[in-house]
Amino acid sequence: MATLSQVKLDYFSATIEDTLAAEAYKKRQATQKANDTHIKDSLATAKRRNKIALQAKQAEITRRANRQISEAKVQAIRKYVTIERQQKDELLVLARAQLASYTLGPDYKKYMLKRIARVNNSHFAIIKLTPQDMLIADEIRAATGLVPEACGQEIIGGFILQDAQRTFQADHSFKTWLEEAVRDFRFS
């Protein structure tokens, strides 16, 4: 039979073992909780990093796409402008030819006399004409009092008025009219 000391010793040992087991359990729980918290924090950090990396990648893709779109727009505008310039040049050549043909017809002389009569000639003394229009110079001088001169530049048709001091001129030439019309022309 066990002695009282032995029973006390056994009870004390069991109590210590239970206490140690309880403390070990608490430590395992605390360690597990710390590990769970660390894993949770690590996952949250990884998620944040992944989210930031994903946002950076999306931003880069968006920038690249916007750059490509901008470059495509610039190329399209350049192509449009080139085509428009070519079409305007073709239009200018055709219009020049038609105007040159018109200046050789019978209606042109009537147009010139009527157009010159409509311009306020009070500020001008000289009218510059194409060499072909110098054939009607006497009629122009008689109708307007302006001194006709052959124009030194190609004006296709029409006329240029100039003051006596040659400081101011009003250009009513077909060439200037045509260049302004082509410059302002918009294809629709």
Note the Cα 26 to chain centre separation in Å.
70
Q: What is the pLDDT of residue 85?
A: 86
Strands laid side by side in the 169-173 sheet: 147-150, 126-129, 158-162, 169-173
pLDDT, mean of residues 122-132? 90
Write down which residue in 53, 72, 103 finishes a domain: 103
Residue 170 has φ and ψ, to the nearest 5°, of: -120, 120
Same domain, 96 and 141: no
Q: pLDDT tens-digit profile of 138-168?
A: 998 988 889 999 998 889 999 999 998 989 9
Residue 94 structural domain: 1-103
Same domain, 37 and 121: no
Q: Which two tokens stand for residue 4?
A: 């009282």
Same domain, 52 and 144: no
**Total domains, the chain:** 2
Residue type, 104: L
Q: Minimal CA–CA distance to 132: which of 108, 97, 113?
A: 108
Residue 79 DSSP symbol:
H
From residue 71, how far is each of 74, 79, 109 by CA, in Å? 5, 12, 53
Same domain, 81 and 41: yes
Q: What is the pLDDT of residue 2?
A: 67
How many other C-beta atoms can be found within 10 angstroms of the C-beta atom of residue 77? 10
Q: pLDDT tens-digit profile of 31-61?
A: 888 888 889 988 889 999 999 999 999 999 9
